[in-house]
Each structure stands twice: as structure tokens, then as C-alpha cells.
Amino acid sequence: MERRLNGEACAFCCYGCCIAFQVKSGRHEEWEAAWLLIQLGVGGFLSMNIMMFSLLLYSDAFTGVDAGVLPWIHLLLWIFATPAVVILGGPYLREMWLNGIQGRVTSSALIVLGVAAAYLYSAFAVFEGSTHVYFDTAVMVLMLFTAGRYLEAVGRARAARDLEPLLAAESESATVVDGAAEIRRPVREVSAGMLVRVRPGERIPVDGVVVEGESNTDEAVITGESRQVTKGAGSKVIAGSINIDGPLLIQSSGDGTATRWAGICRSVREALGRRSPTQRLADRIVGVSVPLVLALGGLTIVYWAQSLPFDGALLIGLSVLVVACPCAVGLAAPMATSLGIGRLARHGCLVRDPGVLETLARVRLLAFDKTGTLTAGKARLVGVDCEEVGIDEVLARAAGLERLSEHGLARAIAAAATQRGITPLVTRDVRTVPGRGVRGSAEGRAVAAGNGRLMNDLGWPIPPSLAERARSLEASGHSVVYLGWGEQVHAVLSLDDSPLPEAQAAIAALRERGLDATLLTGDLAQAAERIAVLVGIKDIQAGLSPEAKRLALDRLRHGHSSVAMVGDGLNDGPVLAAADVGIAVGSATDLARETAALVLPADGLWMLPWIVDVARAVRRTILTNLMWAFGYNLVALTFAAFGLLQPILAAAVMAGSSILVVVNSLRLERLPDPVPALIPEQRSGAKAERTQHGAGISAMAGPAVERS
């Protein structure tokens, strides 16, 4: 028989193999839940037969029956129990074996030892002709634990729903158009220049340009924007976005594995593979508690064997082992953390470290960079003051230095030169001087652009008239860039940057949540103060080098214990890495993104208050889960040790504990989505304004800026 699965034709020998393939090839959480359900079905059939005969034995139905019949009933129970124990207990035995090889004793050991004790004692009793067997106890304990694991797997599958496209990205395929043929290929085999067909409802697999077709796309997972974006011929498309209502033919602009989407997917997978501090603490507690529980179970059997028959003492010891299984403790943090990461990923926020959510929840101070973080990062060149040279030469030399830089001021200078039709001067040996500027060589002479500290370091004098003009511009809040060559400063370029429309609302919302804000910037005090006043930040530290920013952050940490840093530039890499929580905006430089533990989507500053809410909800859920799991275990263990819990009831109690942890964690799904500080139309207008500013400066065409 043939079936079409995931867009590909697959052949199967029978319908059963088709079902098994679909179960096994699904997401890990989904096929785990499906296999557990199959185990429950088979185990349930066997356990029902076992319980039916066991209940008959416990009732008066066999009173007066020939004693020779009972051994045969016990043998029948053994026959039913053996496959049930193998099917339901096999996964626990495998876990215990694999962990034992690595020198670890985990909760699976408690289940295996307890069930094995009941099963082996009952098997021995059958040989001895005893009237007491406990096959029903062994099987029902496994049934209840497997049912609990099934519900846990269902909960994990729901928790991974938001992460599904990220976790499945590495195995995605693309429809490559080769002449008249369309071939399905893994995305990793797609290279630049290939044509890819994307049908409505499919995820766009590569970055590229639309060659044919028109459609709306949803880029929320990349940009955080939930609105649809119209794409037509010539439009750029982003890997990871969803094609909504029309077929598109896309020419790939790069390798399928080199997209930002692929990088996000790898980062999320790596983050989920790490353990948060709370998870590591829970693991250590479980590692210590399991041997202690094993010892307690043994002591319980010894104690009760003095006053009860051995089989009664064995059941009490089994209850202790079963009820003390720390499954809920192991679930407490991972479930909540996965749900939190999934909620953030749904809105384009990338979490690189699972522990960042717990740390962010404790943060009471956020430090912000200025340019590109609180401001648009698309500065405008508003003036050029120069001596003995023309403005075209100034812009040619400046653009030659700055054209490859990712700094916001550098992009503005390069854009202004492009608008005037000026060809950048060929510049070699270009290198960035952190916290100072950039330097290189052109026409055999050294050339540099940056702040006054760079010029002082180089020993290049600044003419008095340019120095006075620079002081005047800085006093009015403008950013100033000195340009020099031939061991002398020849020009001062003045740039202006406006705060993001949502910055003030975001800072106010953070303050409502009890968070303080401070501004750490390399710009001069006047420019920093102007932006700080507009966005509502009172504490300012300006004129800081990257190392000075890091030291300032250390000083702030003394008064606030945990501090988060929000930045986007090359200079922010060290301080983002040093912060308790490093947060990079989506337009950040590669260094800022790589050193930050949390990356916001482009123009995602407005989401920061909501992210804090999610982090606090995750931490609150983790603490609630742990308190419940430990408290539940302690109370139940006390009852079991005093002989007040039968093993089957103990297993039900333990499964209930895990289920409650799962249900409590799933409450995170009900968290509200982020609400922007501005309505979408306003944010679109603000974005368009930034795009216009980034394209160049209209003022450059007039004589007002050509001061010489």
C-alpha cells in the first residue's frame, strides 16, 4: 500500500506498518506519547484479566473451592503478569541500566526494584504453593506510572508546540525547481541561486528574492510582528516565515543552513539541551534522595518484619519506594522552562540559555545602551564642518572607512555619501578601535574617524575652530565624529538620532514592574542626556569605553545583585557577556547577538516588559512546582512508612503528583500575548520614518551643511 506523508510518497506492507511509521517519525514528544498509549493499551488488557482473577480471589467466590484449584489460578495470574511486566517495566529497566552504567541511581531504580520485589516474591510463592501472591500489585503499579508518564508526554508535546517549527527545521525539505521538474531536497542541500517553489501554507525554507508570484507572509517568528506582509516579484523573503495565500517562486540568496532562521533553530535546540540552575539543583537533590529512599525502604521492611508477616512488610517497603519516586521534582523546572521558551519563540524572541528566564525574573535594574537600542540606530548626517578641504573629499574618505562598519553612525555617513553620488575612497587595513572609532590607510596615508579620544591617542591636533564647533554641537545633543588624515583633523561630522517611538512607553512599563533603568553609553554626556530625558531615564553614565561599561555594570551589580544589559552594538559585546542577563535587539551586530543570552526581534524593545512578565511567571511556576513536589513527597512518604498506603494507592498518589505539576506548568499557555506600546499603524509609520532616515539626508543637498 502507498500513502503520501509529509509531501512524499511512502510504501508500506500493511496498514499497521503505516501507523507505526507515523508514530515513530513524529516529534519526539508526540511519538513518545503515542508509544506510551500503545503500551497502556496492551498492559491494560492484561492487567484487567489479572485484576478480574485477583478480585475473585479476594472475594468469597472461592470459599470452599477445592484447594487444588488455587495454584492453577496463581499460575494463570503469573502468565498474564509476565508480559505485562516486560512491556510496561521494560522502559524503566532500560533507564536504570543506562544510568547505572554511568554511575547514577535515578527514580527508575525505585520503580524497578519495587516491582521486581513484588513480582519475584509472587513467582517464588507460586512455586512454594503459598496463598499470597502480588502480581496484581506489580502490574497496577506499572500501569499507574505508565499512565502518569503518558500524561507527562502529552503535556510536554503541548509545551513543545510553539517550538515545533524550530525543532523540526533541521529536517525540513524544500521544493527545488530544476527546469520543468520539481524535486524535494533537504534544506541543507539548497545553495545560492537555486529556485525554490513555496506553496500556500508552507514555511519559506531559505532567504531569497521572489521571482514569480504574489502572496502575504507571516514573519512573526522572526520579527515578532503578527501582521501579514505582502510579497511580490523583487521582494525579499525571510527563511522561517509562512507563505499564506499564494504560490511563490523564490531564488535563494544563500545556503539553506546559513540563514538567520537556521541559526535560531540551532540556538533553541542547544538551549533546550542545557540545564538551568534550578534544574541542576533538582538533579542533585534527586541523585542524593534516591539512595536514601532505597535505604529507607530496606529499613522499613526490616522494622515491619518484626511484627508482621514478611509479605506484609514487603508491601509496606514497596509503598515507600513507589511513593518516594521523585518524578514530579524532575518535571518541575523543565516543563515550565520549555513553555516559557516556546512562548517567547512564538513572538520572535530567541533564548540561548534556559536559565536566563529565572535570572531575568530576579533582575531589578536594566542598563541600556543608547544608539540602536533606545534610538532608531539610523542616525542622519546633518552637518559637515571642514577646513581647507571640500565636503566631497571629506565624505569620500569617511565613507571609505565606514562603509563596512555595522555601527549606526557609520551607516549614516556611508548612506549620505551614496545619496550624493560620492564614490568611497579605497581604504585598506581598516580596523575598529573599540570605544574610539575606526582607522585605516588611504593613498598611502593614515586616516581615522571617531571621537576626540581617538584623535588624542593618535596625537592628531584638532584645529581650534573645529574644536569649538564640536563643543557647540555636543552641547545641543548631537553626536560628533572627527575625521582626520595626514596626522591632522580636517573635519567634524555632526549626526542626529531620535529615540524609538516605543522607548518611553517601554521604560515606563518596566518602572511599573519595579525595575529601575540606567543609561550606559559611549556617547558624550549632552547627547546621552537629551535621549535620556525623552525616554524617561534619570541615571546616566556617558563617555564610557567597552571596558568602562563593564566596570560600571559591576558597580551597579553591588547595589542591585542582578543586572540586565540591553544593547546592540559592537562595543556592547563585552558588557552583554558580563551582565547577569545580556539582551540584544534584533538589529544587533553579530557580536552582540552571539554574546547575549536573549535576543529580541527587530524593533522589539516594546516587548521587554512582556518578556519580564513571562520570566516572572516561569520562575513562579517552577517554585510552585518544586514546593508542591517536595511537600507532596514528604507527606506521602510519611504515610507510606507508617503502613497507611497500599502500593497501588501509593503509585496513584505519585502519578497524581506528576500530573499536578504538568497541569500547573500548562497554565503558562494562558499568559496574554504582548501588547505593543503603539498600535501597529503607528509602529509602521515609525518604521517607515526610520527607513527614510537611513536612506540618506536631504539636508546634505543644501549649502547649509557645507561649512568650510
Residues designated catalytic: 369
Q: Which of 354, 274, 337 is nearest to 621 (CA)?
A: 337
Q: Which of 611, 561, 563 lies closest to 586, judged by CA? A: 611
CA dihedral 612, 614, 620, 623 (to 10 degrees): -110
Residue 542 CA to residue 229 CA, distance in Å, equals 39
What is the phi/psi pair of residue 11, to 5°?
-105, 140
CA nearest 139: which of 16, 223, 49? 49
- Dihedral Cα 576, 577, 581, 583, nearest 10 deg: 40
Identify whether the C-beta of residue 521 lies closer than 8 Å to the C-beta of residue 409. no
Residue 423, classed as helix, strand or coil, is: coil
Contacts of 45 (CB under 8 A, 6+ apart): none
Query: Residue 154: what residue type?
Result: V
Can you name the residues that pair with 3 across neighbouring β-strands?
Answer: 10
The phi and psi torsions of 337 (rounded to 5 degrees) equal -65, -45
End-to-end CA distance of the chain: 83
Q: Under DSSP, is residue 208 helix (H, G, I), strand (E, B) or coil?
A: strand
What amino acid occupies position 649?
L
| DSSP state letter for 673 | P
Contacts of 227 (CB under 8 A, 6+ apart): 680
Paired residues of 218 in beta bridges: 228, 242
Cβ 490 vs Cβ 388: under 8 Å: yes
- Mark 446-481 as b/e (b = at least 16 C-beta within 10 Å): ebbbbbbbbbeebebebbeebbebbeebbeebbbbb
Q: List the beta bridge partners of residue 9.
A: 4
- C-beta contacts of 161-165 below 8 A and 24+ residues apart: 161/342, 162/339, 162/342, 162/343, 162/345, 162/346, 163/268, 163/272, 163/338, 163/341, 163/342, 163/345, 164/27, 165/203, 165/221, 165/240
